[in-house]
């Protein structure tokens, strides 16, 4: 991965679903030591860590974009349905 490609991916990760969130920054050097046992080149380590970072960032963005309430509750539940006697809950 070239420096230009890395910078482009880093810029892409800063764009999130909710524009009010601060950008995420991948600190590759903080985690590089975790890959020592795999004997990867520095470039391969950077590519792997960057890929993992983008996967994680995608899940975070996805989590902020999903309206979980509509998946868990019916519209009637959310809008205040009726009780067992037919009255408003």
24-48 pLDDT tens trace: 678 899 999 999 999 999 999 999 9
The answer to whether 1 and 43 have CB atoms below 8 angstroms apart is yes
Q: How confident is the model at residue 81 (pLDDT cuts 50, 70, 90)?
A: low
Residue 36, pLDDT score: 95
| C-alpha dihedral (71, 72, 77, 83), degrees to nearest 10 | 150
- 3-class SS of residue 5: helix
Structure tokens at 58: 């995608």
């Amino acid at each position: 991965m070239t420096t230009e490609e890395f910078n482009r991916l880093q810029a892409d990760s800063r764009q999130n679903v909710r524009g009010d969130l601060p950008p995420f920054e991948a600190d590759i050097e903080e985690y590089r030591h975790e890959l020592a046992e795999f004997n990867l080149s520095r470039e391969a380590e950077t590519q792997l860590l960057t890929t993992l970072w983008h996967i994680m960032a995608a899940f975070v963005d996805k989590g902020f974009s999903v309206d979980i309430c509509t998946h868990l509750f019916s519209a009637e539940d959310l809008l205040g349905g009726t009780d067992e006697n037919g009255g408003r809950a």
